[in-house]
Structure 1
């Protein structure tokens, strides 16, 4: 198993995306990978309705 590429991840998150250290460490590896994909033009398509419903339940508006 290959170890997680922390140096590259930190360089991308802190250097390219210019995230604060707090925001960088709050990301999940999947979120960081998604940002990388978006920057490199890799689109996975729109968010599905089921995933949207999950996000809406976890992060409701107006509270």
Structure 2
């Protein structure tokens, strides 16, 4: 599960991004700005994204 509240606190409060700036970021850009090493595997992998897309297709 994605901690949207925590990510928004990080982006909007700690990093002082505007909402437009926050939502325009890629996950990798947000990770780098948060100081997370690029070598860390994100919890949302491509395989997990594909599984979620299959489970919840757009209508």
TM-score of the alignment, normalized to the shorter chain, above 0.5: yes
Give CA deviations for 1:2-59 in whole Å, capped at 9, x if unaligned. x111111100000001100000000011111111117xxx587xxxxxxxxxxxxxxx
Scaled by the length of structure 2, the TM-score of the pair is: 0.57
Aligned length: 39
| Long gaps (5+) in structure 2 | 40-59
Matches within 5 A, 1:40-51: none
| Long gaps (5+) in structure 1 | 45-63
Separation in 2, partners of 1:11, 1:5: 10
RMSD across aligned positions (CA):
1.9
Q: Is the 8 A contact 2:11 2:22 kept in 1?
A: yes
